[in-house]
C-alpha cells in the first residue's frame, strides 16, 4: 500500500471511529457531549471521584487527546502533500498545548453552545478545536 493510500485509510478509519456512536435504549448515551462534559470538568479536581467517575474523566481526556492527535496527523499529511484537507478537518493547534488546555477549550465551547451538546462528544471536541484554532489557510 502506498503512503498516500495508508494515510487515506487511516484518516477514514480514524474519522469513522471518532464519529460512530452506539446508543442503547436502556442506557444513557455515554458518547454524548451532554453525558461527558461534566466529567471533563472533573479533570481539574483532585481525584476523589468514584471509579465510574474516573473512567469517564479518562474517556473525556482520551477522546480529546485522540481528536487533537488526529488533527496533527492530518496536518502533517497535508504538509507532506499526501492529502488535501476539507476545511472541516483543518486546524492550527499550537505546539505545546497541554491536554488540560484542550479540555478547557472543549468545556468552554460546550458551555457557550449548550444547544450543540446533544451531539456525539467527538463531534463537539472537533468543532471546539476548529473554532479555537482555525486553519491558517
**Exposure string (b/e) for 106-118, b if CB count within 10 Å is 16 or more?**
bbebbeeeeeebe
* Angle, in degrees to the nearest 10, between helices 51-79 and 99-112: 100
Cα-trace Rg, the chain? 16
Residues 6+ apart with CB under 8 A from 70: 14, 15, 18
- One-character DSSP codes across 58-71: HHHHHHHHHHHHHH
Q: For residue 134, report the phi and psi dihedrals to the nearest 5 degrees.
A: -65, 160
Q: In the prediction, which pLDDT does 127 show? A: 95
Q: In the prediction, which pLDDT does 21 show? A: 38
Q: In the prediction, which pLDDT does 30 show? A: 81
Segments in the chain below pLDDT 70: 1-27, 46-49, 137
Q: In the prediction, which pLDDT does 87 show? A: 82
Q: How many residues does the chain have?
A: 137
Residues 6+ apart with CB under 8 A from 80: none
Spell out the domain ranges in the chain: 3-20+30-132
Amino acid at each position: 500500500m502506498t503512503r498516500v493510500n495508508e494515510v487515506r485509510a487511516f484518516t477514514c478509519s480514524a474519522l469513522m471511529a471518532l464519529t460512530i456512536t452506539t446508543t442503547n435504549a436502556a442506557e444513557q448515551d455515554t458518547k454524548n457531549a451532554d453525558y461527558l462534559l461534566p466529567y471533563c470538568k472533573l479533570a481539574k479536581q483532585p481525584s476523589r471521584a468514584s471509579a465510574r467517575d474516573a473512567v469517564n474523566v479518562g474517556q473525556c481526556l482520551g477522546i480529546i487527546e485522540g481528536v487533537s492527535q488526529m488533527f496533527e496527523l492530518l496536518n502533517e499529511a497535508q504538509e507532506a502533500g499526501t492529502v488535501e484537507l476539507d476545511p472541516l478537518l483543518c486546524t492550527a493547534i499550537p505546539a505545546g498545548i497541554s491536554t488540560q488546555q484542550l479540555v478547557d477549550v472543549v468545556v468552554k465551547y460546550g458551555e457557550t453552545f449548550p444547544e450543540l451538546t446533544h451531539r456525539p462528544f467527538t463531534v463537539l471536541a472537533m468543532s471546539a478545536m476548529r473554532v479555537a484554532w482555525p486553519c491558517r489557510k
